[in-house]
Structure 1
Amino acid sequence: MTTELDKTFDPAAIEAKWYAHWEETGQFRPARPDAEPFTIVNPPPNVTGSLHIGHALDNTLQDVVVRYERLRGKDALWVVGTDHAGIATQMVVERQLEERQDKRTNYSREEFVDKVWEWKEESGGTITRQLRRLGCSMDWSREQFTMDPHFTRAVVKVFVDLYNQGLIYRDKRLVNWDPKLKTAISDLEVETREVAGHFWRFRYPLADGSGSIEVQTTRPETMLADMAVAVSADDPRYAAMVGKQLRLPLTGRPISVVVDAHADPELGTGAVKVTPGHDFNDFEVGKRAGIAPAEMLNMFDAEAKVIQTADGLIPDQFIGLDRFEARTAVVAAMKAGGFLVPYVDKDGAEYDAEPRTIQQPYGDRGGVPIEPWLTDQWYVDAETLAKGPIEAVRSGAIEIVPKSWEKTFFNWMENIQPWCVSRQLWWGHRIPAWYGEDGKVYVAETEEEAQAQAGEGAPLRRDPDVLDTWFSSALWPFATLGWPDAELPPRDGEVAARSADGGDSPPAASVRGANPLHRPADGPPPRAGEENLLAKHYPNDLLISGFDILFFWDARMMMMGMHNTGQIPWPRLYLHGLVRAPDGQKMSKSKGNVVDPLGLIDRYGADALRFFMAAMESQGRDIKMDEKRVEGYRNFATKLWNATRFCQANGIGASQTLAAPEATLAVNKWIVGEVVETLAELDKAMADLRFDAAANAIYHFVWDTFCDWYLELIKGVLSEKPAPLQGRGLGEGASADETRAVAGWVLDQILVMLHPFMPFITEELWHAQDERPYDLIVARWPAPQAAVDAEAKAEVEWLVELTRNLRTAKNELGLAPGAKLEAWLASPSTLATRVILSNAATLDRLARLSAIHQREAPAGAAMQIGAGSDMFVIPLEGVIDIGAEKARLAKALEAARKEAKALEGRLSNANFVERAKPEAVEKARADHAHHTAEAERLEAALARLG
């Protein structure tokens, strides 16, 4: 029994309803114990986060795959959860304290962590609610958090195991230090900005008084901790100075002139000051010069204020100054001492420094310039752990899609640096290390085990640091499934939700059905602990992520997965691009070009946004945001809605068979074949992870084939008084019952094939067509059990081509679309004869040809219309004013050519292309293409008139 649809499609009215239904009835939970598993994990968003356009792309693609595999009968599990996001979360809570004139240091560590947990429980679920609005079919019953007890156990075990294997160690190295947050941060948390800066030039005198060397720097303050000056071995200017001692101004420290490839004779003075304790390049130069990290001088404290170096040579006047205050003071002191070499501009004017735009690294959370800082931290031997993933990708055990990313992957992994995993925060996984009074370290899973190692009664101090968030998220593919235990322990909320009889699932009837057409869930989902999730769902089947976290997350999952489980985490890694602003720029709050996906959902619906994301996702390319395209896909949903209303109005309901119904009518044979071809195209695209090709295949089938042509072609069959039988053609005289059965079956196949992309509207239409004992989300993927009928395909395509070409010609000549014409076809092909004989009424109704004469056309002005190998002649005498129409077309053609030529000249001007705003150049190109196409159309129209 069909449910009459509203006249207007309103996405908001159906989205909340269906998502709540799916979740409440357990449709997202793996419930097919005997089926082939399919597993995917989401890149866990920060618990502090809100849905941004990148999340919308990433999670849409994942949901398309999960819904597709679920429809194909697999036991699909999409693991969902959030990351504790150490820095971001601690900042949120500290900011709240500041608003109350409070601060973290007013509390003990334990008290502050309790406050973070309170915040998490009250406010930490924003993004998970937003993912629901997008339609993500995640298994929320097993929602994970990277600070859950079972996850913490996995994190601690991995740290201890790696330490005992010599793959985690403590070392003194440079890190990205955020002076505002007072913690080391990862490369991912550093953003480089272009800022106005300067180059200062200093003169360092040789200790023997025989001369000096000039160096350039953007950071004058660091000269207080210089330990060498490097020059190139190929620079004849400094050959005699190599090995000599310089006397560092202000401090008097003796430093050596060393040879190093880092010095480029073509850059600046060719001599480079070396501050190994405060510059990443200088750190390596210093090591090559024989300076051990423990001997490298540190001149800053955790807040980037000047402190005394180990040799005690920094003058007191600089001690305690902020690094930027120190910069001003050092420049003034160098100038006063005669060591500053002024910059002379082209007009001969002197300045203390040369203005330059420089690349300045900033901490993306703290918002201040990061400081390379020499400190003791915990490191992972990433070089050793990278060997397995390198071999896995090289051998094909792990496929990276698109393959073009492999070169980047190998380059990074083969040159990987030690991974700093310690952070100076209170929120996060505490490093399981304790120190004795003698500084000896004891690493263990518990304090009791550490105490046993140290000896009873030996005083121990816990390491205050926590682990880098990426360390714990690297365990996501297997720790979420219960590793290192055999099974995933039940969560408190899950236990509380169980019914009195011990079940925690909805009634089986809510997810099962008896209809042989589709495959519903085979039973209620298992409770946590009833099966070994790790054994069934690891390795996962696929990972989808942005290319920007290839090394920060994806590669580390490979390393941790292979080392700790002995297996790859997944056989395929799909890397998508970024969503950019319409002009191609990267979105950022500072530019004001950020697009809110929730706003797009409010305006156009989640289905439209999802379809846009999938249709625009072309492997290896970024997506340009285009709200008009999103609106267009909302119109696509509306077209399907209206097509279903048409079906309902004509007695077309749900199908009762999985296989295609028997068809005798050519138009029905044709549409069945089109389903077969679309299904094959869709399956191939999904197998290749070509989301754009998959979306476009179903889009064109729905819009062009089904809505625009099939429904038009069968209107005559569905009318109350069909034409007399003239043969089994496209419409007349055939069985309306057959057509209704085929049309209903085709609409069902559309809803199933489109469901992964547009889950809400398809589920609504699925149930509107009939009372179904199961939901579309657990239906069966199409299996037409039919083939393409070549003869029927040729007939319909011939008729469609004729109709389309006639409509185009009418539009070009200004004829009314409904104007009826007569046509002459002197030598019809066999196909033309068959179609004309069987489909006179259809040709009259669709092509608006009142008669087709199979003989030579009368003399006079006429237009020629092709269909297949046939060429129709359609006289125009008496239909239009030939002379006036020629004059109109010629005038319009001249104007179009003039506009196209002017734009061509503009675009060939290098000054315009290089200097104009990108959007102006893009508009000029679009206008040129438009006027060129218009000129071609008008030329064709004139040619038709002879």
Structure 2
Amino acid sequence: MELPKAYEPKNYEDDIYKRWEASGFFNPDNLKGEPYAIIMPPPNANGALHIGHALFVTLEDIMIRYARMKGKKTLWLPGSDHAGFETQVVFEKKLEKEGRSRFQMTREEFYKECWDFVQSNKHKSEDGLRRLGASCDWSRNVFTLDSEIVKVVYETFKKMYEDGLIYRGCRLSNWCPKHQTGLSDLETKHEERVEPFYYFKYGPFTISTSRPETKFGDKHVVMHPGDERYKKFKHGEKINLEWINGPITTTVIKDEAVDREFGTGVMTITPAHDRVDFEIAERHGLEMELIIDKRGKLLPIAGEFSGMKILDARPKIVEKLKNKGLLVKIDENYRHNVQLCYKCSNLIEPQIVPQWYVAMTKKFRDGRPALRDMALKALDDQEVKIVTERFEKIFRHWMEDIRDWPISRQIWWGIPIPVKYCDNCHAPIVDIDDSVLECPKCSSDSLTKDSDTFDTWFSSGQWPYAALLANDAKKGSKDFETFFPTQVMETGWDILFFWVARMVVLSYYQISKPPFEKIYLHGLVRDKDRQKMSKSKGNVIDPLGVIELYGTDALRFALIFSTAAGNDIPLSEEKIRGMQHFANKLWNIARFIVSNIEESGLSFQTMTEADTKITEQLDETAKKVTDNVEAFRFHEAAQEIYEFVWRYLADVYLEAAKEQLKDEKISVNTKKILLYQLVIVLKLLHPFMPFITEVIWQELRERGLIKNDDLLMISSWPQ
């Protein structure tokens, strides 16, 4: 009986995946050999899988299937991320569509509804991973809000607090007025804008600003100590002058942070709403008065403008200064960068907010090097290697310039900060198991829990060891002992600092080992014109949608075919369709071969020139594919297989074989060569196109053409 004329993926893929999963070989407990592990970057449990997920699944599944076929005890541990701020934003949009708001709910009600929302999406995401062919061990599946994970996160927090590396401080935060939370620098973006730049008289000086609404509290005028233009003004000198809401007294401050070439070389400072101003004020012990509230509205210090949104108030403030004769000029074409929330694109309004911070550049109390220095040493000692050299340089540069990391967020969804405060003496008390009932300092039993949650990157930054330890706690296994450090962390280059750097830092801190040996960073998937995919542009490719049309293997092969480490990937439906043609070509090759071979165990005889040439080409291809996979050059490995199958096997040898099969003297040997070629091609191609290769493999088994290995997935890699 012949194979069907055309390969229809939807007729096979679901059954094949169920067969793989039921076999138990996704579970390393059923495998022997040297341990090999990848901890899956957990997809956010707040929505459907996108094309970026399809890329990481393809890359990691290639590594895992290759390692498994090389005889390794292979673990690919899956999970889902609660994705604190990201999920809260998504869920609040859902509430908004329903005409509701979280501010109409109790915190407990909000959390429960968000939990149900996340659980529903989590299951959809896991189904999507199966559709993509992810050969991960579902028995070890973890969620970042699992109690075992939270326990690890809390233990790390407590230890860092006791080591003096975590502190609570009132510093300037990147505040989003829409989402009502502070954000790290990495959670903001910058946009160049052309806006008016105003020059005002300020006593004997001319000052300049793009934000006149912040100037109500400016009671210090700052200049560089080396600026000859202002040498007659002495540090600490008091000057009386007329300002927005009447006369004020300002104090002269000399500080080297002032750029003498910018504007007039003189600036007034608003320490509560600007980072440079904050640092100047901190150095000189100056008052830091709030001008703008957390909703982006002016406070009573603004007098008649109190309660107004800053953008509404700005022209009115300028008009008042003009009427007072204090407006010098306006530059209408001032080009500068503004800081925005990365989720809603609203202006960041810096605020002094109490936050929990991780000290990145401070040495331990016992003299051990700072967290930053641990990470840099890991690179220096080659304990962690980044596959692409340019990213190592970027990683190093970012680490050298790193600031303390704010790890608290003013949101409701996530892991709560495990701290209570004494209402009597205000002492903070770290309480990771909610067992502290009275203040250890003053014995008061009046305690209030911290209302903040952890930055999601603080918990996911512990993912490699926390996921393994969580399974040990759940199953009584020895996963951490067996698989840590893991072999590879594969993820997008865009979260090198958000996530990868923090995993390295936290692992060295908590475990004194790197979390993984190598870092492979993939690029972003873009459209065929290399434009960013977005719903507004209409160029988004839905991975599950194209799987329905062309099959999983076509999508996977299209994604991998042009994917050099770190480079962005142009993808189009035409490209996926082209890889569907390649899958059909492979199917037709298999169809021809199985229709011409009746039995296995055929013996070699004298080989024709065509036989010799195709065998040598296959051996060379197998070596190149192996070398490229080992070196993380997956696109080159895919191209080698594609070239061999289409150009040499299909276009050349199959044509020669058709003639040789007519000759009784050499037909037996030709059949042996054909079968050998197909078996090796299936093995080489399996990590890249797992479904069609497994389908053909099972056809060969059922026809008795191969005797060993129930599943191609656990067959041996060609030597």
Q: In the alignment, what sits opposite 1:557?
A: 503
Q: How does 1:251-290 map to 2 (within 5 A)?
A: 251=245, 252-288=247-283, 290=284
Residues 214 and 292 in structure 2, CA contact (< 8 A), matched pair in contact too: no
> CA 1:330 to 1:650, structure 2 compared with 1: closer, same or farther past 3 Å?
same
Deviation larger for 173-182 or 132-141? 132-141
> CA 1:101 to 1:406, structure 2 compared with 1: closer, same or farther past 3 Å?
closer
Output the CA distance in 2 between the equivalents of 1:454 and 1:111.
34
> CA 1:602 to 1:272, structure 2 compared with 1: closer, same or farther past 3 Å?
farther
Q: In the alignment, what sits opposite 1:581?
A: 527
- Percent identity over the alignment is 38
Residues 207 and 268 in structure 2, CA contact (< 8 A), matched pair in contact too: no
- Match for 2:589 among 643, 647, 656? 643
Q: Residue 299 in 1 paired to residue 286 in 2?
A: no
SS in 2 for 1:621: coil
Which amino acid is the alignment partner of residue 85 of structure 2?
Answer: I
Q: In the alignment, what sits opposite 1:506?
A: none
Output the CA distance in 2 between the equivalents of 1:667 and 1:552.
54
Deviation of 1:232 after TM superposition, in Å, equals 4.2
Q: Residue 774 in 1 paired to residue 710 in 2?
A: yes
1:549-608 deviation per Cα after TM superposition (whole angstroms, max 9, x unaligned):
111100100111111112110111111222223333333344444333333333332212
Deviation of 1:96 after TM superposition, in Å, equals 3.8
Residues 31 and 74 in structure 2, CA contact (< 8 A), matched pair in contact too: no
Residues 32 and 72 in structure 2, CA contact (< 8 A), matched pair in contact too: no
Q: In the alignment, what sits opposite 1:745?
A: 676
Q: In the alignment, what sits opposite 1:45?
A: 43
Q: How many residues align?
A: 702
Output the CA distance in 1 between the equivalents of 2:4 and 2:660.
25
Q: Which runs of 5+ in 1 are unaligned?
A: 206-210, 309-313, 344-352, 491-527, 723-732, 784-946
> CA 1:49 to 1:394, structure 2 compared with 1: closer, same or farther past 3 Å?
farther
> CA 1:242 to 1:457, structure 2 compared with 1: closer, same or farther past 3 Å?
closer
Q: In the alignment, what sits opposite 2:660?
A: 717
Residues 439 and 445 in structure 2, CA contact (< 8 A), matched pair in contact too: no
Output the CA distance in 1 between the equivalents of 2:615 and 2:606.
8
Which amino acid is the alignment partner of residue 12 of structure 1?
Answer: K
TM value normalised by structure 1: 0.71
Deviation larger for 324-333 or 473-482? 324-333
SS in 1 for 2:190: strand
> CA 1:420 to 1:642, structure 2 compared with 1: closer, same or farther past 3 Å?
same
Deviation of 1:642 after TM superposition, in Å, equals 1.0
Residues 230 and 262 in structure 1, CA contact (< 8 A), matched pair in contact too: no
SS in 2 for 1:55: helix
Output the CA distance in 1 between the equivalents of 2:23 and 2:661.
39
Deviation of 1:186 after TM superposition, in Å, equals 2.7
Residues 442 and 454 in structure 1, CA contact (< 8 A), matched pair in contact too: no
SS in 2 for 1:541: strand
Q: In the alignment, what sits opposite 1:77?
A: 75
Q: In the alignment, what sits opposite 1:666?
A: 609
Output the CA distance in 1 between the equivalents of 2:493 and 2:307.
43
Q: In the alignment, what sits opposite 1:127?
A: 125
Q: In the alignment, what sits opposite 2:102?
A: 104
Which amino acid is the alignment partner of residue 280 of structure 2?
Answer: V
Q: In the alignment, what sits opposite 1:488?
A: 472
Output the CA distance in 2 between the equivalents of 1:423 and 1:272.
32
Which amino acid is the alignment partner of residue 472 of structure 1?
Answer: S
> CA 1:552 to 1:775, structure 2 compared with 1: closer, same or farther past 3 Å?
same
Residues 173 and 183 in structure 2, CA contact (< 8 A), matched pair in contact too: yes
> CA 1:748 to 1:278, structure 2 compared with 1: closer, same or farther past 3 Å?
same
> CA 1:239 to 1:578, structure 2 compared with 1: closer, same or farther past 3 Å?
farther
1:240-262 deviation per Cα after TM superposition (whole angstroms, max 9, x unaligned):
34635454722544334444454
Which amino acid is the alignment partner of residue 482 of structure 1?
Answer: L
Q: In the alignment, what sits opposite 1:399?
A: 385
Residues 78 and 138 in structure 2, CA contact (< 8 A), matched pair in contact too: yes
> CA 1:239 to 1:13, structure 2 compared with 1: closer, same or farther past 3 Å?
farther
Q: In the alignment, what sits opposite 1:382?
A: 360
Residues 45 and 119 in structure 2, CA contact (< 8 A), matched pair in contact too: no
SS in 2 for 1:283: helix
Output the CA distance in 2 between the equivalents of 1:587 and 1:234.
50
Output the CA distance in 2 between the equivalents of 1:661 and 1:301.
84
Deviation larger for 673-682 or 158-167? 673-682
Output the CA distance in 1 between the equivalents of 2:337 and 2:11.
50
Which amino acid is the alignment partner of residue 468 of structure 2?
Answer: L
Q: Residue 161 in 1 paired to residue 156 in 2?
A: no
> CA 1:454 to 1:285, structure 2 compared with 1: closer, same or farther past 3 Å?
closer
Output the CA distance in 1 between the equivalents of 2:124 and 2:219.
51
SS in 1 for 2:59: helix
> CA 1:453 to 1:406, structure 2 compared with 1: closer, same or farther past 3 Å?
same
Q: Which has the higher Rg, Structure 1 or Structure 2? A: 1
Residues 31 and 72 in structure 2, CA contact (< 8 A), matched pair in contact too: no
Q: How does 1:687-706 map to 2 (within 5 A)?
A: 687-706=630-649
Which amino acid is the alignment partner of residue 280 of structure 1?
Answer: R
Deviation larger for 10-19 or 397-406? 10-19
Residues 652 and 740 in structure 1, CA contact (< 8 A), matched pair in contact too: no
Output the CA distance in 2 between the equivalents of 1:214 and 1:23.
69
Which amino acid is the alignment partner of residue 714 of structure 1?
Answer: A
SS in 2 for 1:316: helix
SS in 2 for 1:430: coil
Output the CA distance in 2 between the equivalents of 1:89 and 1:475.
19
Q: Residue 31 in 1 paired to residue 19 in 2?
A: no
- Match for 1:250 among 241, 244, 247? 244
SS in 2 for 1:777: helix
Deviation of 1:320 after TM superposition, in Å, equals 1.9
Q: In the alignment, what sits opposite 1:472?
A: 459
Output the CA distance in 2 between the equivalents of 1:52 and 1:358.
34
Q: Residue 330 in 1 paired to residue 317 in 2?
A: yes
Residues 201 and 327 in structure 2, CA contact (< 8 A), matched pair in contact too: yes
Deviation larger for 414-423 or 9-18? 9-18
Which amino acid is the alignment partner of residue 384 of structure 2?
Answer: I
Output the CA distance in 1 between the equivalents of 2:535 and 2:157.
37
Q: In the alignment, what sits opposite 1:359?
A: 337
> CA 1:763 to 1:225, structure 2 compared with 1: closer, same or farther past 3 Å?
farther
Which amino acid is the alignment partner of residue 332 of structure 2?
Answer: E
Residues 652 and 741 in structure 1, CA contact (< 8 A), matched pair in contact too: no
Structure possessing the higher relative contact order (Cα contacts under 8 Å, 6 or more residues apart): 2
Deviation of 1:754 after TM superposition, in Å, equals 0.3
Deviation of 1:670 after TM superposition, in Å, equals 2.6
> CA 1:698 to 1:321, structure 2 compared with 1: closer, same or farther past 3 Å?
same
Residues 255 and 280 in structure 2, CA contact (< 8 A), matched pair in contact too: yes
**Considering only aligned residues, what root-mean-square deviation do their CA atoms show, in Å?**
2.4
Q: Residue 683 in 1 paired to residue 626 in 2?
A: yes
Residues 207 and 263 in structure 2, CA contact (< 8 A), matched pair in contact too: no
Q: In the alignment, what sits opposite 1:204?
A: 202
1:593-636 deviation per Cα after TM superposition (whole angstroms, max 9, x unaligned):
43333333333322122112222111342222343332222211
> CA 1:50 to 1:670, structure 2 compared with 1: closer, same or farther past 3 Å?
same
- Match for 1:221 among 210, 213, 228? 213
> CA 1:13 to 1:271, structure 2 compared with 1: closer, same or farther past 3 Å?
farther
1:713-748 deviation per Cα after TM superposition (whole angstroms, max 9, x unaligned):
2211112xx2xxxxxxxxxx6421122112111101
Deviation of 1:533 after TM superposition, in Å, equals 0.7
> CA 1:662 to 1:185, structure 2 compared with 1: closer, same or farther past 3 Å?
farther
